[in-house]
Amino acid sequence: MKNKKTVIVVGGGAAGLMTAMQLSPKFKIIIIEKEKSIGRKLLVAGKGGFNLSNNCSLEPFISKYTPSSFLEQSIKLFSSNDLQLFLASLGIETYVGSSGRIFPKEGIKPNDVLKAFKTQLSKNGVQIKVNHKFISYSKNELIVANSNNVKASLFFDYCVFALGGASWSKTGSDGKWTALFQTKNINVIPFQASNCGVNIDWKASVLNHYEGKPLKNISFTVEGKTIKGEGLITSYGMEGNAIYPLIGNVRDLLHASSHAQLFIDLKPNNTHKDLMLKMKGKSFKDYKKTLNLSSLDMALLKAYTSKQDYLNVNTFISCLKKLELPIIGLRPLDEAISTVGGISTTAVNSDFSLKNNPNIFSIGEMLDWDAPTGGYLLQACFSMGYSVANTINKNS
């Protein structure tokens, strides 16, 4: 029987595991993982609700990515529907939540999803070398070191790097590989936080009473981009699904200056005129009840408007529709849900092979792309993993 070709997958996260899964029936697969177990970030991602993908239709789905054209082919090749079918084939049933987000069915824990991957990989004969760190590579050779720093050479026909971004380093994705790729003349962009919280210069009157409280049914605007959703007041600033998609805009503003402005609309479903009509004939003491404002809304308005604006109905409503909060920074890289930066998209071909070494591929969060939360991050990693497997299958 003809010897199977060897594919080494470096990094046992969403992207790498999908590649290994798709190629394992036909190739000899070795997964190299520096941590003591694979899929650690998957487990972390699953903690607050394992949002695997999104039911959003294809065109708007693709538009969620920056740059969108970069991921178009792979998302089309392996869509959220394909991911659901694939997971079902592993015994992981999914459902679409009210917001279109896709989750494993109730009772299925993140560890069950990871176990299903591991079981199938083991059935397919995939070798998983944990506690093995990749330290260098050349055309067909990978140098790895085990936990005792004993080095070994592994030879490959194809190598797929899926080393992750640079947040939650305790899961393994520490971004420490960048220096090596730079020595190989690969353009690497410095990592920056994405999908992270912001630091806000809170007034004590807000922080002392409202830390941990949510702001529901609001919209946030940064630099003209508006997102409806929720925010959460934290000791340092704001987290939440309405802030994460604006981080790119905040980042740009913070590059240009040391601060940025976050505008809150506390009543995004009412126009200024609607609210003025509600207040007709009412006095200042009726603001809260008539406009259905919470104590937190009132505290924010009081803290971040002038006394004059607060006491005048017209300016009070203007502020309520566009309350300015001072952003003084982004949360640290390691806390971010995802990162931008890493290998430049210009360093890879459209099939994710390295331009200067086409039998080596780079996929997942280690590449410089961005997406909001909502399942788009994991779907992109799974789609890239599938897509690379498809290319390698076709080439062999």
Ligand X SMILES: Cc1cc2nc3c(=O)[nH]c(=O)nc-3n(C[C@H](O)[C@H](O)[C@H](O)COP(=O)(O)OP(=O)(O)OC[C@H]3O[C@@H](n4cnc5c(N)ncnc54)[C@H](O)[C@@H]3O)c2cc1C
Residues 215-244 binding ligand X (CB under 6 A) are: none
Subset of residues 167 to 186 that bind ligand X, contact rule: CB under 6 A: 167-168, 172-173, 177
Q: Is there binding between residue 16 and ligand X (CB under 6 A)?
A: yes
Q: Which is nearer to ligand X, 265 or 365 (CB)?
A: 365
For residues 191 and 184, what is the distance between their CA atoms, to the nearest angstrom? 18
Q: How far is CA 335 from the centre of its chain?
A: 12
316-342 as b/e, with b when 16 or more CB fall inside 10 Å? bbbbbbebebebebbbebeebbbbbbb
Which of 304, 305, 303, 377 is CA-nearest to residue 339?
Answer: 377
Residue 12 makes contact with ligand X by CB under 6 A: yes
Binding of residue 348 to ligand X (CB under 6 A): no
Looking only at residues 148 through 167 of this chain, which bind ligand X when binding is defined by CB under 6 A?
Answer: 162-164, 167
Q: Check binding of 378 to ligand X (CB under 6 A).
A: yes
Number of Cβ within 10 Å of residue 68's Cβ equals: 15
CB of 18 to ligand X, least distance (A): 8
Please tell me whether residue 232 adopts helix, strand or coil conformation: strand
Asked if residues 73 and 383 have their Cβ atoms less than 8 Å apart, the reply is no
Q: Interaction with ligand X in 49-68: which residues (CB under 6 A)?
A: 51
Tokens of 296: 């937190």
Identify which range of 37-45, 108-116, 148-156, 213-221 contacts ligand X by CB under 6 A.
Answer: 37-45
Amino acid at 177: W
Nearer to ligand X, 117 or 316 (CB): 117
Q: Is 14 in the site for ligand X (CB under 6 A)?
A: yes
DSSP bridge pairs for 137: 142
- CB of residue 136 vs ligand X: minimum separation in angstroms? 10
Per the listing, tokens 């909502």 go with 374
Q: How far apart are CA 7 and CA 22, in angstroms?
A: 11
Kindly tell me which of 27 and 352 has the beta carbon lying closer to ligand X.
352
Candidates 21, 22, 41, 118; binder of ligand X (CB under 6 A) is 41
**Position among 65, 70, 78, 134 found at the interface with ligand X (CB under 6 A):** 134
Q: Which is nearer to ligand X, 34 or 251 (CB)?
A: 34
Starting at the edge strand found earlier in the chain, the sheet holding 151-155 runs: 132-137, 141-146, 151-155
Interacting residues toward ligand X by CB under 6 A: 10-16, 32-35, 40-42, 44-45, 51, 133-134, 162-164, 167-168, 172-173, 177, 337-338, 364-365, 375, 377-378, 381
